[in-house]
Amino acid sequence: MRNLILGLLLAALSCSVTAAQSAGVASNAVPSNALQSNGAQSSGTQKPPAAQPESTPTFRQNVRLVNVFFNVKDKHGALIPALTQEHFDILEEGKPQTIKNFSAVSNQPLTLGILIDSSGSMQRMLPEEKIVAGDFLRQVITDKDLAFVISFDVSVDLLQDLTSDVRLLRHGLDKARVNTGTASSGIPGLGQGPIPISHPKGTLLYDGVYLGANDILGRQVGRKAMIVLTDGVDQGSQMRLKDSIEAAQKSDVIVYVLLISDPSYGSDSYDMNHLADQTGGRMITVKADKLQKAFQEISDELRSQYNISYTPTDARNDGKFRKIEVKSKDGYKIQARKGYYAPID
C-alpha cells in the first residue's frame, strides 16, 4: 500500500511540473497579432521569415522636406508676382540647398489665428479692432480655410475654435471684453496662460502667441499665420518672447503684428518687430482709423506667397535651430522666416 501511495504522489508531481512548463511557454509566447503590420491578418500559423537577399532595396527613413512660404517685394514694397524657381536660391546655414518643389500658393488653404489684446490699455481701441477684424475675416476666409479667435489680458481665452464659418468667428470677436483682473471669478488660475498664477495681472501677450502657435496651429498643416492686435506690452506671461518665437517657428507659423496703442499708455515696437521678422511676417504700426488698410496689406501678402521646399543636406535630427535664407537673383526683397528647428529622433 505504501508503494502504491508513493507511486500516485510521484505521478501527480510529474503532471504538475509538466503543466507548469506548459504555462511558462504560453506566458512567454509572442501573440501572433504583434507580428502583423500594415493591416495584414494573422493566418494562425507562424512561418519563419524567408531569407532576404543582400541586394533587397530598402526605403530611406526620416527624409524630410523643409517648406518656406515667402513674399517678394520691390524696393518700394510692392509685391512681385509670376516669378519662377529659377529666380531664387535657398541656403541653410550658408550652404546652398537643392530646391525640390516650387509654387505660387495664392489659392492654397490657409489656417489663421486672430489674437486680440483685451487688456486695460486697449480699452479705447477694442471696439474698432473687433469691427475691422471681423470685416477682414469676411474678406479672407473661404470655405477651404480655417480660423480661430483668441483674446489675451490677465488670461488667455479661446473665443472661437477653428472654423470656416465667418459668422461664428465674428461672434467670437464680439465676445472679447476688456479684463484688468479687478473683477475675477474667484478661481485662481482659471483660463490663464500655460502656467496658472494665483494673482493675475497685466497682459499675457507671449502666452497667447505661444498657445496659439503650439496648441492650435502646431496641429495643422499647410499655410499658417497669426495676426496679433496689440500695443506690444507684455506683463505677467509665463512664456518669454523667445519661447513664443520658437513655438511659431516649430509650428511653421507666420506672425503679423498690428501695433496699435493708446498714446497715454505707449507701446513696445522692438519686441513685436522681432517676433514678426523672425517668423516671416512683419509689424505694421497703425492708428485705429487705419486698421482697414493694414488688414488689406496682410490679406494681399497672404494671397501672394511663394513656397519653396527642399531636403536639407544636413540630415541630422538633433532638434537644433537651422538658419535659412531665400535669396532673389533679381535683387528683390524677400520676406521669409529666418530658420526652423530640426526634428528630434
Residue 288 included in any domain: no
Beta pairing partners, 259: 230, 285
pLDDT tens across the length of the chain (345 residues): 444 444 544 444 444 434 444 334 333 333 333 323 333 333 344 444 454 444 444 444 456 899 999 999 999 999 999 999 999 999 999 999 999 999 997 778 999 999 999 999 899 999 999 999 999 999 999 999 999 999 999 999 999 999 999 999 999 999 999 987 754 433 333 344 444 444 446 799 999 999 999 999 999 999 999 999 999 999 999 999 999 999 999 999 999 999 998 777 778 899 999 999 999 999 999 987 889 999 999 999 998 999 999 999 999 999 999 999 999 999 999 999 999 999 988
Asked if 229 and 215 sit in the same domain, the reply is yes
**What is the sign of the dihedral through the CA atoms of 334, 101, 244 and 315?**
negative
How far, in Å, CA of 136 to CA of 302, rounded?
A: 12
Asked if 97 and 119 sit in the same domain, the reply is no
The DSSP output letter for 11 is H
The cell numbers describing 270, all together, are 522692438
pLDDT for position 4 = 42
Asked if 130 and 98 sit in the same domain, the reply is no
Asked if 98 and 129 sit in the same domain, the reply is no
How far, in Å, CA of 234 to CA of 153, rounded?
A: 9
The cell numbers describing 121, all together, are 490699455
Residue 245 included in any domain: yes
**What domain range includes position 158?**
110-280
The cell numbers describing 46, all together, are 507562424
Instruction: Report the interhelical angle of 291-302 vs 126-140 (nearest 10°).
Output: 30
Across 87-205, the runs of DSSP E, i.e. the strands, are 88-92, 95-96, 99-104, 110-117, 146-152, 156-163
Instruction: Report the interhelical angle of 126-140 vs 166-174 (nearest 10°).
Output: 170
- 72 close to 306: Cβ distance less than 8 angstroms: yes
pLDDT for position 297 = 95
First to last CA, the chain: 71
**Total domains, the chain:** 2
Q: Three-class SS of residue 205?
A: helix
Residue 20 included in any domain: no
Asked if 141 and 217 sit in the same domain, the reply is yes
Give the helix/strand (H/E) hosting 299.
helix 291-302
Asked if 142 and 275 sit in the same domain, the reply is yes
pLDDT for position 289 = 82
The dihedrals phi and psi of 315, each to the nearest 5 degrees, come to: -90, 5
Residue 189 included in any domain: yes
Q: Domain with 191 in it: what CATH number? A: 3.40.50.410
Residue 43 included in any domain: no
Q: Of 265, 280, 295, at which residue does a domain stop?
A: 280
* Amino acid of residue 61: Q
Asked if 312 and 195 sit in the same domain, the reply is no
Q: In what order do the strands lie in the sheet with 333-336?
A: 99-104, 306-310, 66-73, 333-336
Residue 331 included in any domain: yes
Give the helix/strand (H/E) hosting 36.
none
Q: Interior CA angle at 331 toward 298 and 333, to 5°?
A: 20
Asked if 267 and 336 sit in the same domain, the reply is no
Beta-carbon neighbour count of residue 344 at 10 Å? 8
The cell numbers describing 281, all together, are 511676417
The dihedrals phi and psi of 329, each to the nearest 5 degrees, come to: -70, -15
Note if the pTM is more than 0.85. no
Asked if 184 and 91 sit in the same domain, the reply is no
Asked if 230 and 252 sit in the same domain, the reply is yes
Q: Three-class SS of residue 68?
A: strand
Residue 166 included in any domain: yes
The cell numbers describing 241, all together, are 518672447
- 185 close to 154: Cβ distance less than 8 angstroms: no
β pairing state of 283-285 and 254-259? parallel
Asked if 224 and 326 sit in the same domain, the reply is no
Residue 29 included in any domain: no
Asked if 94 and 116 sit in the same domain, the reply is no
- 234 close to 219: Cβ distance less than 8 angstroms: no
How far, in Å, CA of 329 to CA of 96, rounded?
A: 13
pLDDT for position 62 = 52
